[in-house]
Amino acid sequence: MSDHPRKIIHCDCDCFFAAVEIRDNPELRALPVAIGGSSDRRGVISTCNYVARKFGIRSAMNSAKALQLCPDLIILPGNMDKYREASVKINRIFEDYTDLVEPLSLDEAFLDVSESNACHGSATLIAEEIRARVRKEVGITISAGVAPNKFVAKVASDWNKPDGLCVVTPEKVDAFVKQLPIERIFGVGKVTAGKLHAMGILNCGDLRDFELPVLTERFGRFGSRLHQLCRGIDDRPVQISRIHKSVSIEHTYPIDLLGVENCLDQLPELLEQLHRRLRRYLEKDSGYKIKGRFAKVRFNDFTTTTIENQLQEGELKQYQVLIRQGHARGEKPVRLLGIGVRLDVDDQQAPEQLTLFT
């Protein structure tokens, strides 16, 4: 790599799930549309289009609440296979410009185009071409941010949404970051934002007035991160291989499960879903082995417990033991069940360890 500033692009699809549905049914384009669960089955909104957002609807909102805000809201159940297919097409477009692609989810990714010869080496032109190709070949819009590092690129991709492009050149990073609200810093949630506001810190410029020792004293290791990011410093490379520490699935039931036996009856269905998800990971990287299993039980009062073990017994028996242990901690009606595996990387042992998923 050269000593010149890196060229990072963060691409983020606009209302991805909803956009794919509207692509396939253009009559929905001017209507408020959301993807989520049924309002009478404790459903939640996973995403919605910008028409719906004008009513105050947002991700993770209860579907019943969303319908109160917008009675005409069209809530679709979603189709993950269709969304994955669109995601694969988009990632193939990314890979035409660089091998350094770090997917963050189905609908967003970082690209390092520092050494790319495409578009005469211009990150801006690459981003524009990617956006045009996604619109033409996939049928949806995607926003992009171009900057010398991941932090600024990710903020920039949200700057002109939807269907926008924001370019922050190296000489503009300082001014761009200085005026950012501290909530724009990744990792600053409501609690941290409240502490920063109490210190009189509203934006990154305010944050720069505090020395590193003060920030580390008040925020621990995150204080060092705050000190760097408020100055637009982010040395993280684009990671082309993300190591997953766990894979899990969970399900919220429309009617509470009464008794542990009813919980155990759900295991075959949960296991089938978990196997499908694990296969997708193995298709990308076979260098994983299972080092433990865990289960999650959420009761009807929203208290939640997680149990795990490293037993060598049969898979189904392990989860039966875990569910029984978890249920015994509350012995109340169960609202949600989840199961998963802890993963470790071991190229030689992984194929043998995971043969049960064939």
Which residues does the annotation place in the binding site for Mg(2+)? 12, 107
> Cα–Cα–Cα angle for 237, 47, 239, nearest 5°?
10
Catalytic site residue 21? no
Two structure tokens written together for 328:
């015994």
Q: Under 8 Å CB-to-CB from 33, ≥6 apart: which residues?
A: 18, 21, 22, 48, 49, 51, 52, 73, 74, 76
Which residues 6+ apart lie within 8 Å of 71 measured at CB? none
Provide φ and ψ at 162, rounded to 5°. Answer: -85, 165
Q: What is the rounded (10 degree) CA torsion for 16, 20, 25, 28? A: 0
Q: Which residue positions form the known binding site?
A: 12, 107
Residue 145, sorted as left (phi over 0), alpha (psi -120 to 50) or beta, turns out to be: beta
Q: How far apart are CA 144 and CA 166, in angstroms?
A: 7
Distance separating alpha carbons of residues 98 and 108, to the nearest angstrom: 15
* Pairing mode of beta strands 108-112, 8-13: antiparallel
Catalytic residue among 102, 108, 308, 315: 108
Catalytic residues: 108
